[in-house]
Structure 1
Amino acid sequence: MTGRLGKSRARPTIHDVAAEAGVSRGTVSRALNGGQNVSPTALEAVLAAVRKTGYVANSAARSLVTQRAHSIAFVLTEPQSRLFEDPNFSILLQACTQELAEHDLPLLLMTASSDVERKRTSRFLAAGHVDGVLLVSSHTGNPLVDELLQFDIPVVTCGKPLGHEGRVAYAAADDREGARSMVRHLRERGRTRIATITGPLDTPGGVERLAGYRDVLGADAVPSLIAQGDYSRAGGEAAMAELLARSPDLDAVFVASDLMAAGALTVLHDAGLRVPRDVAVGGFDDSGIASTTRPALTTVRQPFERITREMVRLLLDLVAGQPPAAALLPTELVVRDST
């Protein structure tokens, strides 16, 4: 036995919207694709008709008209595991997703840490599947930035695009001044043998935070007090052990990320050193880790929400045809118990 349980309601069309608004189909189309050459009265009528009819634009058809994909890629040039280990990346991803949702734009997450991933990502982006790219944790020498420029794909980086300043838009915290504020704070607390664990020196954070450390210490920033990390907890542990072996008399350490600082605290504890009595520790980021370490971590707060807002704003400006611009945002010293 066959039968029909009911007749499904036809999906509203652009013709339905035009009839409801009392305007032409062309006026509806222009109103839904930017509102150019549409009077305020007609635009208001079209929007009211859309709400009343429940019309939803066909994204594929709209893409043919506008030559846009109506989606954005969030590209992380780190292994996928870092997305879950380092809280900064998940904070940026969530905030960018929420910010783009305000513009009704979905976000595609992609990783490009290896040559294979980079080539696959590059091919996908060059095929026109997205309108632009939010690039996070770009390393000097990674050819992805040059490929995006070659394909004329709008791109905004999180942090200064080393080697591409002036050609690529970016939003960043003022890493150098943030590092200066931390090292000055350690000096004001009476510390004289201040070491640092840097980030990777092919990243803007690694370069700029080391520069800020050197700005304050000058000749006291000797090589034996500088160890390179990789923004991971294990990297912080290894670098702290290296510093203690080379300079056991150090009395403070500025660590270029909270995650590495958590690793450094573990090594100091295992070595029988008290924080902050024997060694003061300062981090960078003010991620959730900073308030959960023991002792709670003095750190430099990055304005992640403002950074993501600026990244999205700059990218949408690029998509609209504006030239690349930059936003450098201030940091804030957050004093807790580790100094």
Structure 2
Amino acid sequence: MTEQPTLAQVAAAAGVSPATASRVLTGSVRVSTSTRRQVYDAVSRMGYVRQRAPRGTAAKTMADGVTAVICDHLPRLFSEPYYARLLSAAGAVITEHGTHLMVTTVTPTSSTLPALSGAVLIVGARERHPLAIKLSTSGVPVRNIGRPPHDLKLPYADVDNLDGGRQAAEHFLLTGRRNVAAIGGPPSLPAARDRLEGLVRTLQAAGAPDVPVAYGDFTAASGTHAMQWLLRHAPGLDAVFVASDLMAAGAIQALRRAGRKVPADVAVIGFDDAPVARHTVPALTTVRQPVEELATVATRLLLTGAAGIDPVLPTELVVRESA
């Protein structure tokens, strides 16, 4: 049997000290983006497991497969690029392990829950979602994609949404934008709240005016409607942070219809670095989240029965033409 890698070996592969690697994995202190990426890359590459699950859990997972539960409406499964990227990467890892992937959806507020066996990846669970609450106490092997809602005790893997909002705010400030507005995602979704909080907190610390906020549901249409609302209620805005690239594309369309030039009149920053970001006019400045890496790390930790590791992967501002 192949020996499991040790923390010291992971640290050596990442080029950091064992103490630094341990701090990254426990999230006890802030470390640089590059250091976190090096450690998580080493964890993923080497299959490091900080704590094994009870004997037999991994074998049961292999036999019964993995179910990805998307907490969203069924049509969104096929129209939202994020889900395609996430499921493709997770499926590749699951295939490597010789088992199979099943996909199901439950609506964001559904109390009708699917029957689940094997291991479960939860995607997009919002606060007080019955499925997340049930799985948190079920003993079923589970890993949440994103910080769990409502402080539930679920193992998870996430991206640093808070820091993504911070990076967007700092870019606006450095480029002379002061009247910043925001289009947030659903407030009940932890990732959406974190993105907005990172932006607002940074702007407040710099003494910028209060941030007017409209909300959407991550669709282009909702971005258009939210931008129209902001133009009516905050006509002096000179920048807008949008919590997804699809919503940002809709916001740019609304700005164009209103006669506002991007970025001359209004700078726009999105979030995701989805394929649409390179095809908007102008090309979208956005916060890149490593979707494929997130899915890969989360799935490997789920399949190996890891506990005690809740990785948070770094985000990165990608500057294009819109801001």
| Smaller-chain TM-score bracket | 0.7 to 0.9
Matches within 5 A, 1:157-196: 157-164=144-151, 167-196=153-182
Paired residues of 1:296 and 1:336 also in contact (CA < 8 A)? yes
Aligned partner of 2:196 in structure 1 is 210
The aligned residue for residue 321 of structure 2 is 337
Closer/same/farther in 2, CA of residues 114 and 188 from structure 1, 3 Å limit: closer
Number of aligned residues: 266
Q: Which amino acid aligns with 2:210?
A: V
Aligned with residue 312 of structure 2, among 328, 331, 334: 328
Normalising by structure 2, report the TM-score: 0.78
SS at match of 1:192: coil
Q: Return the alpha-carbon distance in structure 2 between the equivalents of residues 67 and 162 of structure 1.
A: 27
Match of 2:45 in 1: none
Decide whether the 8 Å contact of 1:177 with 1:212 is kept in 2: yes
Partners of 1:303 and 1:243 lie apart in 2 by 29
What is the alpha-carbon distance in structure 2 between the residues aligned to residue 326 and residue 169 of structure 1?
6
RMSD (Å) for aligned C-alpha atoms: 2.0
Distance in 2, matches of 1:332 and 1:151, equals 36
Q: Distance in 2 between matches of 1:235 and 1:334?
A: 23
Displacement of 1:324 after TM fit?
Answer: 4.6
- Quote how far apart the aligned CAs of 1:70 are: 3.1
Structure 1 residues 198 and 154, CA gap change in structure 2 (3 angstroms): same
Q: Structure 1 counterpart of 2:282, which letter?
A: P
Structure 1 counterpart of 2:137: 150
**1:108-119 equivalences in 2 (<5 Å):** 108-113=102-107, 119=112
Letter in 2 for 1:336: R
Say which is worse superposed, 283-292 or 183-192, in terms of deviation: 183-192
What is the distance in 2 between the residues matched to 1:102 and 1:228? 40
- Structure 2 counterpart of 1:247, from 196, 211, 234: 234
Matched, 1:313 2:300: yes
**How much identity, in percent, do the aligned residues show?**
39
Deviation at 1:220, TM superposition (A): 3.4
Equivalent residue in structure 2 for 1:141, among 118, 128, 150: 128
SS at match of 1:296: coil
State the one-letter code of the partner of 2:158: A
* Separation (CA, whole Å) in 2 of partners of 1:196 and 1:114: 23
SS of the residue corresponding to residue 326 of structure 1 reads coil
Question: Is the 1:169–1:314 Cα contact (8 Å) retained in structure 2?
Answer: no
Structure 2 CA distance for aligned equivalents of residues 336 and 154 of structure 1: 41
Task: Work out whether residues 214 and 221 of structure 1, in 8 Å CA contact, stay in contact via their aligned partners in 2.
Answer: no
2:92 alignment counterpart: 98
1:119 alignment partner, SS class? coil
Change beyond 3 A, Cα 1:108–1:306: same
> Which of 197, 208, 216 is equivalent to 1:220?
208
Give the whole-Å Cα distance in 2 for the aligned partners of 1:187 and 1:234.
Answer: 28
| Gap change, CA 1:157 and 1:67, over 3 Å in 2 | closer
Query: How many Å separate the matches in 2 of 1:177 and 1:156?
Result: 22
CA deviation after TM superposition for structure 1 residue 183, in Å: 1.1
**Cα 1:159–1:196 shift into 2, 3 Å:** same
Per-residue Cα deviation, 1:37-72 (whole angstroms, up to 9, x for no partner): xxxxxxxxxxxxxxxxxxxxxxxxxx9xx6553310
Partner SS for 1:76: strand
**TM-score, L = length of structure 1:** 0.74
- The CA deviation string for residues 160-184 of structure 1, in whole angstroms up to 9 with x for no partner, is 002235x211111100001100111
Q: Counterpart of 2:311 in 1: which secondary structure?
A: strand
Q: 1:248 to 1:97 in 2, by over 3 A?
A: same
Measure, in 2, the Cα distance between the counterparts of 1:270 and 1:281.
15
Uncovered stretches (5+) of structure 1, i.e. residues with no partner: 1-33, 37-62
Distance change >3 Å, CA 305–CA 114, structure 1 → 2: closer
In structure 2, the residue matched to 1:75 is 69
Work out whether residues 169 and 202 of structure 2, in 8 Å CA contact, stay in contact via their aligned partners in 1.
yes
Deviation readout 1:243-297 (Å, 9 max, x if unpaired): 0000111000000000100110110000011000000000000000100111100
Q: Higher Cα Rg: structure 1 or 2? A: 1
- Aligned partners of 2:95, 2:195: CA distance in 1, in Å? 33
Alignment check: 8 A CA contact 2:65 2:102 kept: yes
Once residues 242 and 103 of structure 2 are traced to their aligned partners in structure 1, the CA distance between those partners, rounded to angstroms, is 29
Structure 1 stretches of at least 4 aligned residues deviating more than 6 Å after TM superposition? none
Show the counterpart of 1:87: 81
- The AA in structure 2 aligned to 1:160 is R
